[in-house]
Amino acid sequence: MAGKRMKAANAAFDKNVDYSVKDAVKIVKDNAKAKFDETVEVAINLGVDPRHADQMVRGVCNLPNGTGRSVRVAVFAKDAKAEEAKKAGADVVGAEDLAEQIQKGDMPFEKVIATPDMMPLVGRLGKVLGPKGMMPNPKVGTVTMDVAKAVADSKGGAVEFRVEKAGIIHAGVGKASFGQDKLEENVNAFLTDIQKARPSGAKGTFVKKITLSSTMGPGVKIDTNEVST
């Protein structure tokens, strides 16, 4: 059944055409036929080599219409900042006790935030948090004194991005159930923020290829002229 669905989806559009964001979103939405609410994902091939520090692309995009998924957040903080994090809706708040919990592999969350004074403690957890992409970093707003905003952003529409070794960035930008306009806004916001994150060492064409897809659907190419390269 899944094979038939993919075959039909592939026949619904021309794989050799680079579409506008609007048309790509429509094709992806029309072909998201799974029994669950598929995530809409964007993959961007960039003209960078992230092995060079001046070609690293990393940042955070606040999607105007959220991601459509609930994100569980842990916060390393003490005293007033811990209370602030709890009031903002953090799922787990702690310090040494939270570090012990993580070392035992008990991590019922997807995002970790820390106040700067907690980083010596959090730094010891690098081997656990690093491979999962959860190590707090000031560049993406997860090491901050404004824990309330960081929690709200994480639970709202904040999507972290980081270029992989092959020069590719992947991110979920919403759900197939989102309205056409909302998905378009999210995709455009993400593409804009990628362009803004262009590093000083990037030479030539920065955005080489953009593909939009749903979890179970085929990739639809977006015209790179949709972003200024």
pLDDT in tens, 111-170: 999 999 999 999 999 999 999 989 999 988 999 999 999 999 988 888 989 999 899 999
Q: How far apart are CA 227 and CA 222, in angstroms?
A: 10
**Cβ–Cβ under 8 Å, residues 7 and 169:** no
Where does a domain end: 155, 189, 212? 155
61: which 2 tokens?
A: 């995009």
Q: Which residue has the tokens 């030479």?
A: 203
DSSP for 28-49, written as a single string: HHHT--SSS-PEEEEEEEES--
Q: Is 96 exposed, middle or buried (0-12, 13-18, 19+ CB in 10 A)?
A: exposed
Name the more confident of 8 and 30: 30
Final residue belonging to a domain, choices 155, 183, 216: 155
Quick one: average pLDDT of 49-62? 92
CA distance 138 to 135: 10
pLDDT at 7: 72
Q: What is the pTM of this model?
A: 0.80
Element (H, E) at 98: helix 96-103
> The tokens of 45 are what?
């091939």
Per-residue pLDDT band for 74 (boundaries 50, 70, 90) equals very high
- Rg of the chain, C-alpha, whole Å: 19
For residue 91, pLDDT over 80 is answered with yes
Q: Which domain holds residue 192?
A: 14-67+158-226
Binned at pLDDT 50, 70 and 90, residue 2 comes out as: low
What CATH number is given to the structural domain containing 88?
Answer: 3.40.50.790
**Residue 194 shares a structural domain with residue 171:** yes
What is the C-alpha to C-alpha distance for residues 141 and 113, in angstroms, rounded to an integer?
A: 8
Convert the pLDDT of each residue in 178-224 to its tens digit.
999 999 999 999 999 999 999 999 989 999 999 999 999 999 999 99
Reported as a pLDDT band with limits 50, 70 and 90, residue 227 is: confident
Domain count, the chain: 2
3-state secondary structure of 175: strand
Query: Domain for residue 5, yes or no?
Result: no
Same domain, 151 and 165: no
Confirm whether 213 is domain-assigned. yes
> Does residue 185 form part of some domain?
yes
Higher-pLDDT residue of 84, 6: 84
pLDDT at 47: 95
Judged against a pLDDT cut of 70, whether residue 102 lies above it is answered with yes
